[in-house]
Amino acid sequence: MPEGPSIVILKEQVQKFKGKKILEVSGNTKVDLVGAGVAGSKVLDFKSWGKHFLIVLKGRAIRIHFLLFGSYSLDEQTKPRPRVHLHFKNGDLFLYACSVKLLEGDIDTHYDWTADVMNDTWDPRKARKKLKDKPDELAADALLDQDIFAGVGNIIKNEVLFRIRVHPESQIGALPPRKLSELIREARNYSFDFLEWKKAFELRKHWLAHAKSICPRDNVPFVKVKHLGKRKRRAFFCPKCQKLYIL
DNA sequence: CCGGTTGTTCAGCG
DNA sequence: GCGCTGAACAACCG
């Protein structure tokens, strides 16, 4: 369920609850939403920041993070033990196996929207500046850094690196300026491709590197690393066409 | 039954 | 306080 584009889809799907009053709240979250008086308040907006799904109320927001296994359903409860269940006059929102937090105060004080690769205000120059401060960082780790590329997950990471022909263990500081620009540009571009493919239920079909075994460019077997970089995530890359840049 | 995963946080240590 | 490591958590699939 994770990765930024999936959250953007969720945000679109719950639009019918925007402006509506939460009539009832329940679920097994440890956050005391009932005691906090969430029932009775109106949803002012739904927002997303990277992989965070935000239910904005007056003066506060419920922050949902689906981690690896989280999921949701609309109107029908499809799984046992919802973490959060919001009941509206015109339907229901069920959130399962997610992390829940209550953010107090203006939502804008909690988030830098320009760091979200899917956001209208995404600022590639800021990303570049942050990357400049981490020359030793591996390209694979940098792409997963939510302070720089909020919303990018492991699939997007692998696909972006394949697209721009960069080895995941390349160091950021060793990338030629043009390559660095490509990395930043494709982190956003691929996220929007991901969004469209996911909406069409054909995401996997478009994977060129992630979970694949042969490079579609030159038929060479992909290298598969189980725990690559400091974030120790799965990596798939072509030893032939993805260049290793080292300082 | 076991191993693996589109992710993050926190305790424990040096 | 920092950086690193491993554990913990969660649900489902093959």
Helix residue ranges per DSSP H, chain A: 4-13, 124-132, 139-144, 154-163, 177-199
A150 part of a folded domain: yes
Taking the CA of residue A204 and the C1' sugar atom of nucleotide B4, their distance in angstroms comes to: 18
Using CA atoms, how far residue A135 sits from A13, A101, A139, in Å, is 40, 34, 10
Q: Of A111, A137, A155, which residue sits at a domain end?
A: A111
A168 and A104 within one domain: no
Q: Give per-residue pLDDT as tens, A25-63.
A: 999 888 888 888 899 999 999 999 999 999 999 999 999
Q: Of A58, A78, A111, which residue sits at a domain end?
A: A111
Nucleic chain B contacts, protein chain A, residues 182-241, CB cut-off 7 A: 210-211, 226, 231, 233-234
A165 and A200 within one domain: yes
Percentage of chain A lying above the pLDDT 90 cut? 77
- Contact criterion met (CB below 8 Å) for A125 and A115: no
Q: Which two tokens stand for residue A177?
A: 């300026």
A141 part of a folded domain: yes
Phi, psi angle pair for A183, to nearest 5°:
-60, -45
Please choose, from the candidates A247, A244, A238, A235, the residue with its C-alpha nearest in 3D space to the C-alpha of residue A220.
A238
A199 part of a folded domain: yes
Cβ of A6 less than 7 A from strand B = yes
Cβ of A224 less than 7 A from strand C = no
Scanning every strand, the nucleotide with its C1' closest to A51's CA turns out to be B7
Q: Crossing angle of helices A154-163/A177-199, nearest 10°?
A: 130
Q: Of A111, A138, A172, which residue sits at a domain end?
A: A111
Cβ of A96 less than 7 A from strand C = yes
Please choose, from the candidates A119, A144, A120, the residue with its C-alpha nearest in 3D space to the C-alpha of residue A134.
A144
pLDDT of res. A36: 86
CATH code for the domain in which residue A179 is found: 1.10.8.50
Cβ of A153 less than 7 A from strand B = yes
Q: Within 7 A of a protein CB, which nucleotides of strand C?
A: 4-5, 9-12
CATH code for the domain in which residue A106 is found: 3.20.190.10
Cβ of A3 less than 7 A from strand B = yes
pLDDT of res. A130: 92
Query: Over A197-209, what HEC string results?
Result: HHHCCCCHHHCCC
A243 part of a folded domain: no
Q: Give per-residue pLDDT as tens, A195-213.
A: 999 988 888 889 999 989 8
Q: What is the DSSP letter of A171?
A: B
Scanning every strand, the nucleotide with its C1' closest to A79's CA turns out to be C11
A136 and A79 within one domain: no
pLDDT of res. A73: 93
Q: Give per-residue pLDDT as tens, A86-122.
A: 999 999 999 999 999 999 999 999 999 999 999 999 9
Which residue has its C-alpha nearest to nucleotide C5's C1'?
A230
- What is the arithmetic mean of pLDDT over A157-181? 95
A179 and A208 within one domain: yes
A151 and A71 within one domain: no
A22 and A128 within one domain: no
A160 and A101 within one domain: no
Q: What are A40-44's contacts with CB under 8 Å, separation 24+?
A: A43/A17, A43/A18, A43/A19, A44/A18, A44/A19
pLDDT of res. A238: 93
Compute the Cα dihedral for A74, A204, A69, A228 and give only its sign: negative
Residue A106 belongs to domain spanning: 4-111
A246 part of a folded domain: no
pLDDT of res. A173: 93
For residue A1, pLDDT over 80 is answered with no
A37 and A107 within one domain: yes
Nucleic chain B contacts, protein chain A, residues 112-151, CB cut-off 7 A: 144, 146
Per the prediction, chain A carries an average pLDDT of 92
Measured between its terminal Cα atoms, the distance across chain A in Å is 36
Using CA atoms, how far residue A213 sits from A178, A179, A216, A226, A227, in Å, is 28, 25, 9, 14, 17
A226 and A139 within one domain: yes
A131 and A37 within one domain: no
pLDDT of res. A202: 86
Please choose, from the candidates A176, A35, A168, A162, the residue with its C-alpha nearest in 3D space to the C-alpha of residue A102.
A35
Using CA atoms, how far residue A53 sits from A81, A110, A153, A245, in Å, is 20, 13, 15, 36
Q: Which two tokens stand for residue A137?
A: 């960082």
A137 part of a folded domain: yes
A180 part of a folded domain: yes
Overall number of domains in chain A: 2
